[in-house]
């Protein structure tokens, strides 16, 4: 089995959250669980999950607000898992930027299939380079197609790992990246050390 992604479950019902966590972990996913919108947003910024499973009926904020907030700066897949089953509610969530909508009660097999679909969409969404093949910022120029870096017009030699790290920093410009996230994205492995 290939290395699976990290999924953030934002669900206030502890039984459903536990069921989702155990089921997803059984299928090789790393799972983070938050029971409020505030803790969910904390995990989002600190752990950089690949996919979010989001309940709309959270105790501190409506899940629709979370979708809207995340869509201002991120394209990660958001799958709504909610008891709200009216058509207008589904349409509103999807129009705000949710990628999929699953109504409770649900079958785990269907949810897993939708998560796999979200995983596939990650491949097309997160190409290893920014949308433009050339990045310019003051004196720095990076040509992603040719793997060339220049500072003030002078070529700079980077190893493949250094170039991949630079790509990651440019892709997430202005964000704080955790050590764990950088290890996963650049070197491709999870850190088991919490220090």
pLDDT digits 0-9 by tens, 143-172: 888 888 999 889 998 888 888 889 888 887
Handedness of CA 137, 140, 141, 145 (dihedral sign): negative
40-51 in b/e form (b: 16+ CB < 10 A) is: bbebbeeebbbb
Q: Which domains does the chain have, with CATH numbers?
A: 6-125 (3.40.50.2300), 134-187 (1.10.10.10)
Tokens 């995983």 belong to which residue? 119
Q: For residues 77 and 69, what is the distance between their CA atoms, to the nearest angstrom?
A: 14
pLDDT tens, 86-124? 999 999 999 888 999 999 999 999 999 999 988 887 765
pTM: 0.65
SS3 content of the chain, % helix, strand, coil (to 5): 40, 20, 35
Burial of 87 (0-12, 13-18, 19+ CB in 10 A): exposed
């Amino acid at each position: 089995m290939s290395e699976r992604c990290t999924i953030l479950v934002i669900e206030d019902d502890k039984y459903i959250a536990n069921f989702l966590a155990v089921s997803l972990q059984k299928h090789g996913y790393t799972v983070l669980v938050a029971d409020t919108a505030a803790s969910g947003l904390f995990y989002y910024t600190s752990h950089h999950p690949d996919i979010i499973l989001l309940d709309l009926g959270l105790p501190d904020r409506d899940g629709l607000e979370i979708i809207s907030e995340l869509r201002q700066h991120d394209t990660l897949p958001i799958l709504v898992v909610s008891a709200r089953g009216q058509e207008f509610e589904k349409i509103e969530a999807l129009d705000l930027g949710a990628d999929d909508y699953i109504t409770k009660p649900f079958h785990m097999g269907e949810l897993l299939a939708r998560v796999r679909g979200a995983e596939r969409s990650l491949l097309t969404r997160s190409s290893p380079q920014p949308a433009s093949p050339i990045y310019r910022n003051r004196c720095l120029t990076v040509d992603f197609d040719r793997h060339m870096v220049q500072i003030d017009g002078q070529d700079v030699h980077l190893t493949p790992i250094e170039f991949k790290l630079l790509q990651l920093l440019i892709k997430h410009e202005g964000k704080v990246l955790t050590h764990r996230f950088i290890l996963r994205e650049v070197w491709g492995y999870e850190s088991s050390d919490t220090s």
